[in-house]
Amino acid sequence: MNEIIKLRPIETSEPLKNLDRICDMESGRMSGKIFWDKDIYEQELEKVFARCWLFVAHESQLPKAGDYLTTTMGEDEVLVVRQKDASIRVMLNACPHRGNKVCFAEAGNARGFICNYHGWSFGADGGRLMGMHESKCYEESGFDKSQHGLRQARVASYKGLVFATFAEDAPTLEEYLGPMTWYLDVMLDMDEGGSEFFGGCIRSTIECNWKIAAENFVGDILHGGWTHDSAAKAMLGGPVTNVGELPESYSVNWNGHGYEFATDVVGNAATLGEREINKYLHTLRPKVAERLGEFRSKLIGAISSFTVFPNFSFLPGQNTVRVWQPRGPDKIDLYTWVIVNKNAPQEIKGKWRRGAMMTFSPTGVFEMDDGENWEYCTKTSRGMVTRYQDLYVGLGMHTRIDDSELPGNVFRGQLNECNARAFYQRWKDLLQSPTWADVPDRNGKMR
Amino acid sequence: MSQVFLCHRDELEPGTLKKVAGGDAGDICVYNLDGKYYATADMCTHATASLAEGDMEGDLITCPVHWGQFHIPSGQAVTFPCERAVRTYRIITTDKEVFADTSAESEEAELAAASPI
């Protein structure tokens, strides 16, 4: 009678039958159904978001013991708390009694968290259950407090970026990121100070599927010269750089992560219209070259974009960092922050914060045009015929560089859809694999 | 009169506290409040919790579990969810040692009990 019943994880659901029909990356085509279907979405929550490493915080957001913030992993509400031993714990922000949300604040410092329903009190130290209102009757029924703390996630950090996963069998974070860490260093490791978030989190809603946004950042600079022409003229007085004429650019991907980039040093940064920021990057570049090598020093603010699968993206240069938080197949909450070098002058950090708000935020001149595109990519699939039409994802099938010295799967040119193909392939692989061990390794093989 | 040894006079810094086994009386929490010693029962009157694991904030003790508060000198419950006063023990000090008299409450507690409010 006093046995604790542990709820076992639900058996992995059967893969949906039509996935190969609606997502065929070898042929470079897919259907809008992947942006619209509720069953697909539920399986994504199970097999993508409950399995992958998801970004939850930057170390700089939690300087002191007891500092916390709340965010989501997929649709799971979580608490991220700095511990006394300097580690970070991530736990479900849902009481294990009846599931009530425990903490309603966005961020703060606390000694613990108390559920409003029955007064279950959880310590800041890893969400340990400290006690309950009417504790005596629990004691009389043989209740074991140690079994009923807040459910913990696995946590790991890479150069300031804190990730978490609820999958016990997921690879380590380093394995998960693979060779993409070489490229992440371009933003996270320019100098010995590393990076920090500057300013707060801006949250907004876009009525689009999370994948269309994540895919845009994983490898779509193709849209830049067309979608963003008017915004570029407003910010720079001229059109977007003619990306097609840049002498050197690449698309790189690995296990669904992707980075497309030119080597023009400040192409992205320049869109903020702040000469001082361009000057800061040019001045810093020799130091970065010493630290990371000549090649990577040319990337620090270049025309580029990056997605860490599934839904963490950023733009070097504009320094905007974001998570596309899924809220149903046709909606995301966009959480966005600004990242800067710790050692950058205060004034430069301020210019970056304002610049990112002017370009990539709910009022951002670039973001608003992206948002409209993505909403309509999603909404047209309301129509049954539209939902099944073939969508072309075939650009750049011939561009793999087999003998590149660069890490990862390397392709020629950033005007390319190879990263999108790799992203959707990884998505499909996860939906079709019962466990992590079953997920295929396609590195070196995809076009 | 039943006496329980609590600590040496120079053992606790001001603003610190300690749990002591009280034998028949149960666990006792001893406090150094600005150089003066006080003692209360260690068990919170609201739910199972050790006050000695809480924080002294001014002349209040904050329970670590639901953050309710008692006034240390008188044991009066001050903050939700604490409603019932916590038992206090009169302090007896010698040259070097601090004891609790488990048959008497603190002077402050007696004053509070006598008050019409």
pLDDT at A315: 98
All residues of chain B having their beta carbon less than 8 Å from the beta carbon of residue A135 are 47-49
For the beta carbon of residue A371, count every other beta carbon within 10 angstroms: 20
Residue B110 phi/psi, 5-degree rounding, is -65, -40
Nearest residue on chain B to A137, judged by CA atoms? B47
All residues of chain A having their beta carbon less than 8 Å from the beta carbon of residue B66 are 114, 119, 121, 131, 133
pLDDT at A1: 37
Task: Name the E strands within A43-165.
Answer: 54-58, 67-73, 76-82, 88-92, 107-109, 112-114, 121-123, 129-131, 154-158, 161-165
pTM of the model: 0.94
* CATH of span B3-114: 2.102.10.10
Find how far residue A435's CA is from the centre of its chain: 22
**Are β-strands B97-101 and B3-8 bridged in parallel, bridged antiparallel, or unpaired?**
antiparallel
Nearest CB partner across the interface for B48, out of A111, A114, A135: A135
Alpha helices in A161-203 (DSSP H): 173-177, 181-188
Contact by Cβ (8 Å): A320, A216 = no
Q: Does A131 touch chain B (CB under 8 A)?
A: yes
**Are β-strands A195-197 and A257-262 bridged in parallel, bridged antiparallel, or unpaired?**
unpaired
Tokens coding A193: 């100070």
Q: Is A328 left (phi over 0), alpha (psi -120 to 50) or beta?
A: left
Tokens coding A27: 């042929």
Task: Kindly provide the b/e burial profile for residues B58-93, where b requires at least 16 CB atoms within 10 angstroms of the residue's own CB.
Answer: ebbbbbbbbbbbbbbbbbbbeeebbeebbbbbbbbe
3-state secondary structure of B16: strand
Q: What is the mean pLDDT of residues B40-59?
A: 97
3-state secondary structure of B19: strand
pLDDT at A6: 53
All residues of chain B having their beta carbon less than 8 Å from the beta carbon of residue A115 are none
Residue B116 neighbours by CB under 8 Å, 6+ apart = none
Domains in chain A (CATH in brackets) are 54-157 (2.102.10.10), 178-438 (3.90.380.10)
Whether residues A119 and B66 touch (CB distance < 8 A) is answered with yes
- Specify the DSSP class assigned to residue A398: T
pLDDT at A242: 85
Whether residues A139 and B66 touch (CB distance < 8 A) is answered with no
Nearest residue on chain B to A134, judged by CA atoms? B47
Interface test with A, best of B51, B62, B65, B84 (most A CBs within 10 A): B65
Q: Compute the Cα dihedral for A294, A295, A301, A303 and give only its sign.
A: positive
All residues of chain A having their beta carbon less than 8 Å from the beta carbon of residue B67 are 111-112, 114
Residue A215 neighbours by CB under 8 Å, 6+ apart = A307, A420, A423, A424
3-state secondary structure of A411: strand
Contact by Cβ (8 Å): A221, A250 = no
Domain layout of chain B by residue ranges: 3-114
Is A438 a residue of the active site?
no
Is A148 a residue of the active site?
no
| Spatial strand order in the sheet of B97-101 | B3-8, B97-101, B88-93, B36-41, B28-33, B16-20
Burial category of A108 from C-beta neighbours within 10 Å (exposed 0-12, middle 13-18, buried 19 and up): exposed
Whether residues B47 and A136 touch (CB distance < 8 A) is answered with yes
For the beta carbon of residue B36, count every other beta carbon within 10 angstroms: 12
All residues of chain B having their beta carbon less than 8 Å from the beta carbon of residue A119 are 47, 66, 81
Task: Kindly provide the b/e burial profile for residues A423-443, where b requires at least 16 CB atoms within 10 angstroms of the residue's own CB.
Answer: bbbbbbbbbbbeeeeebeebe
Q: How many CA atoms lie within 13 A of A19 on its CB side?
A: 19
Interface test with A, best of B42, B43, B45, B48 (most A CBs within 10 A): B48
pLDDT at A12: 83
Q: Does A6 touch chain B (CB under 8 A)?
A: no
Q: Does B47 touch chain A (CB under 8 A)?
A: yes
Q: Which of A127, A291, A307, A140 is nearest to A215 (CA)?
A: A307
Residue A409 phi/psi, 5-degree rounding, is -85, 115
Residues, chain A: 447
Which residue matches tokens 């994983």? Answer: A218
Nearest CB partner across the interface for A114, out of B49, B55, B66: B66
Q: Give the CA angle between residues A179, A181, A185 to the nearest 5°.
A: 140
What is the per-residue pLDDT across B10-43, written as a single tens digit (0 to 9) for each? 999 999 999 999 889 999 999 999 999 999 999 9
Residues, chain B: 117
3-state secondary structure of A233: helix
- Specify the DSSP class assigned to residue B43: B
What is the per-residue pLDDT across A199-226, written as a single tens digit (0 to 9) for each? 999 999 999 999 999 999 999 999 999 9
pLDDT at A8: 57
Whether residues B65 and A131 touch (CB distance < 8 A) is answered with yes
Weakly modelled stretches of chain A, pLDDT under 70: 1-10
Contact by Cβ (8 Å): A377, A212 = yes
All residues of chain B having their beta carbon less than 8 Å from the beta carbon of residue A136 are 47-48
Q: What is the ipTM of this complex?
A: 0.88
For the beta carbon of residue A124, count every other beta carbon within 10 angstroms: 21
Is A58 a residue of the active site?
no
Residue A314 neighbours by CB under 8 Å, 6+ apart = A187, A217, A305, A306, A320, A321, A322, A339
3-state secondary structure of A48: helix
Residue A61 phi/psi, 5-degree rounding, is -80, -15
Contact by Cβ (8 Å): A80, A56 = yes
3-state secondary structure of A259: strand
Q: Does B56 touch chain A (CB under 8 A)?
A: no
Is A257 a residue of the active site?
no
Is A370 a residue of the active site?
yes
pLDDT at A243: 86
DSSP codes of every residue in B45-60? SSSS-BGGGSEEETTE
Whether residues A130 and B81 touch (CB distance < 8 A) is answered with no
Q: Which of B30, B34, B1, B37 is nearest to B15 (CA)?
A: B34
Q: What is the mean pLDDT of residues B39-56?
A: 97
